[in-house]
Amino acid sequence: MATGRVRWGEAVSEDPAPAEALTAARRLIVKIGSALLVADTGEIRRPWLAALADDVARCRGRGQEVILVSSGAIAVGRRHLGLSGRRLRLEENQAAAATGQIRLAHAYQEALARHGITVKKKPAGGGAQASRRGSGAPTLGPRSRLA
Q: How far apart are CA 6 and CA 2, in angstroms?
A: 10
Cα(131)–Cα(126) distance, integer angstroms: 15
CB 121 within 8 A of CB 73: no
The rounded average pLDDT for each run of 10 residues, N- to C-terminus, in the chain (147 residues) is 48 69 90 94 95 96 93 94 89 95 95 92 53 35 42
The CATH superfamily label for domain 27-146 reads Acetylglutamate kinase-like (3.40.1160.10)
Domain ranges (residues) in the chain: 27-146
Are 147 and 119 within 8 A, CB to CB?
yes
State the pTM of this model: 0.71
